[in-house]
Structure 1
Amino acid sequence: MRRGQPLQHDYVAEATAVAKENYAPLLKIEGPLESGTFTWREERYIYVSGLASTGERRLVEVFHLDAGALTPVLAYGYPPPVRDLFPMDYAILHSDDPWNGEFPPATTMASRKRLSGSSYFP
């Protein structure tokens, strides 16, 4: 795929379907999902967002489109335009203290055994 050429495949619909099936349920994001595209440093990206239980539009996933392949972008690698589109989500992902001083307790194998009463852990 050459840059600047129209897309031959509906990657936006594909990204939306992947996000709906794999990511939105984990994040408790409801529909309708919305998708959009942007270009950063001559690379194409597709983002998918949905409604949180609070009614706010939240980012579900960002995909990179390169050579006809749609690849989810790791959160630490989100390009800067995501900051402008979803400032709240970007701030949480790039916060020095995302738990506001309340670091979640560490889970160790011993604590999981104690909590579950089972001696087997996959």
Structure 2
Amino acid sequence: MAEIHMTERMLIISETDERGIITFANEDFVRMSGYSYPELIGKPHNILRHPDMPSSAFGDLWKTVKNNQIWNGFVCNRCKNGDYYWVYATVAALKASDGSRHYLSIRRRPTREEVEYYSALYKTMKE
């Protein structure tokens, strides 16, 4: 499968409920993922999980945001057609007026050097 690249102006934004179910996806998210908006809403965010991503990275993400801290990290996502793309993600917990928790994720394009570094690091973590 091929790596695809975000443009410099893209900003991928999504929101999930406390179980990681997608409740919002912006146009850049739809475009990069290859899924339609209706295909994303109501699905677990991990439908984008690339098999090369170490599970410990997501364990750290969930531990961090459940403690009301902001998580930042590099993630390789898988598109609907099997292609993949890298992002630098910032994830934060939000509390709705009804007391429920939601998670907001904003992703930007990483540099080529960051992709190369984290690709190699994650490969060693998976071995």
TM-score w.r.t. length of structure 2: 0.30
TM-score w.r.t. length of structure 1: 0.31
